[in-house]
Amino acid sequence: MEDRMEYQKYYVPESSKFPIFAAISLFILIIGASSTINSLDNPESNASLILYTGLACFLATLFFWFRQVVKENNAGLESTQLSQSFVYGMAWFIFSEVMFFAAFFGALFYVRTFAVPWLGGEGEKGLANILWQDFEASWPLINTPDGGKAFVIAAKSMSFPGWENISHWLPIYNTIVLLSSSVTVHFAHLGLKKGNKKTFNAWLAITVLLALIFVGLQALEYYEAYAHFGLTLNSGIYGSTFFMLTGFHGFHVMLGGLMLAVMLIRSVFYGHFNEHKHFGFEAASWYWHFVDVVWVMLFLFVYIL
């Protein structure tokens, strides 16, 4: 019986301080983010310094933590069980991100389906225009009947402008760029599985470039919204939901792009990854496909519908 049983060594790393460093950094980051949002009307506030400090600490923690994991892997300390734990860990991480965005999409659904119609007097819980007599329930909600005293009124929304103006609509280019990057990262994965590192590096470099282009287009869209449309984070419920959803997605694009850039550096300069061992890249590609799927939902529910 014992002869048929095969035991496999499982590497248990030494106790690490990185998890507590990550928790503290995220706490500072969240405090800084909430403080920055709440002090947008106060130009003298230093809340953004807390945000950037938390972000810098978190990125530094991830750098040293992942560097330690890579060293352990290169030293041959990995095993089938350990590799399986990495798979489960990445899967649960992406699942937590799914729940994160589900909360924001849920808020958008609640506002559009229930809150705005109730303010317009619709349904059993309709307020019969008690608050605003001339309020008309519509979406995107960029006008209020009180002349802008309650909210900053935007001149224009970022929704679909019609087929005749689609060539000047930045979100369509964002969509093309991001969906194309999902294809290029898949080609990179195929090249790596075939053992062709040149193909892998080339397609991965294109993917990182497309990620940078997307972030640039997103910044240009935000400039257009603020400078030309008067649409800001303070522009009522539409402005807050629009910038929270697209802004957090943009942050995830930068994070995913950073992951892929690190994989590219590891491959080009350190010769990491081959057709048999490349979970680091595979995990980053999973995350990138997740970011693409979220954008498709954003494009439909924030811009189109």
Please name which of 154, 179, 175 lies closest in space to residue 166, comparing C-alpha atoms.
Answer: 175
User: 119 lies in a domain?
Assistant: no
pLDDT digits (tens, 9 = 90+) for 161-209: 888 888 888 999 999 999 999 999 999 999 999 999 999 999 999 999 9
Structure tokens at 134: 């001339």
4 secondary structure, DSSP code? G
Note whether 257 and 198 are same-domain residues: yes
> Global pTM?
0.85
- Distance, in Å, from the CA atom of 3 to the CA atom of 5, rounded to the nearest integer, reads 6
Note whether 203 and 159 are same-domain residues: yes
Task: Quote the pLDDT of residue 74.
Answer: 80
Dmax of the chain from CA atoms? 83
**270-275 long-range contacts, CB within 8 A, separation 24+:** 272/70, 272/74, 273/192, 273/197, 273/200, 274/192, 274/195, 274/197, 275/192, 275/193, 275/194, 275/195
Note whether 243 and 216 are same-domain residues: yes
| pLDDT confidence tier of residue 96, bands split at 50, 70 and 90 | very high
| pLDDT confidence tier of residue 82, bands split at 50, 70 and 90 | confident
Note whether 103 and 65 are same-domain residues: no
Chain position carrying tokens 């089938």: 80
Note whether 41 and 91 are same-domain residues: no
User: 188 lies in a domain?
Assistant: yes
94 secondary structure, DSSP code? H
User: 249 lies in a domain?
Assistant: yes
- Distance, in Å, from the CA atom of 54 to the CA atom of 26, rounded to the nearest integer, reads 6
Note whether 59 and 104 are same-domain residues: no
pLDDT digits (tens, 9 = 90+) for 121-158: 776 655 555 666 666 777 887 766 554 444 456 667 88
- What type of residue is 122? E
3-state secondary structure of 278: coil
- What type of residue is 124? E
Task: Quote the pLDDT of residue 1.
Answer: 45
Note whether 169 and 61 are same-domain residues: no
- What type of residue is 184? T
Q: How many domains does the chain have?
A: 2
Note whether 23 and 51 are same-domain residues: yes
pLDDT digits (tens, 9 = 90+) for 270-297: 888 888 888 889 999 999 999 999 999 9
Instruction: Kindly give the residue spans of alpha helices, DSSP state H, lying in 75-147.
Output: 80-110, 116-119
Structure tokens at 235: 């522009």
CATH number for 212: 1.20.120.80
> Got the DSSP string for 19-64?
HHHHHHHHHHHHHHHHHHHHTTT-TT--HHHHHHHHHHHHHHHHHH
Structure tokens at 211: 């990620």
Q: Residue 44 pLDDT > 60, yes or no?
A: yes
Residue 290: its H or E element = helix 279-298
Task: Quote the pLDDT of residue 273.
Answer: 87
For 83, other C-beta atoms within 10 Å of its C-beta total 12
Note whether 62 and 190 are same-domain residues: no
| pLDDT confidence tier of residue 84, bands split at 50, 70 and 90 | confident
> Got the DSSP string for 169-237?
-HHHHHHHHHHHHHHHHHHHHHHHHTT-HHHHHHHHHHHHHHHHHHHHHHHHHHHHIIIII---TTSHH
- Distance, in Å, from the CA atom of 224 to the CA atom of 222, rounded to the nearest integer, reads 5
> 261 is in which domain, residue-wise?
78-108+155-304
Task: Quote the pLDDT of residue 148.
Answer: 44
Contact in structure between 132 and 119 (CB atoms under 8 Å):
yes
Task: Quote the pLDDT of residue 38.
Answer: 83
User: 3 lies in a domain?
Assistant: no
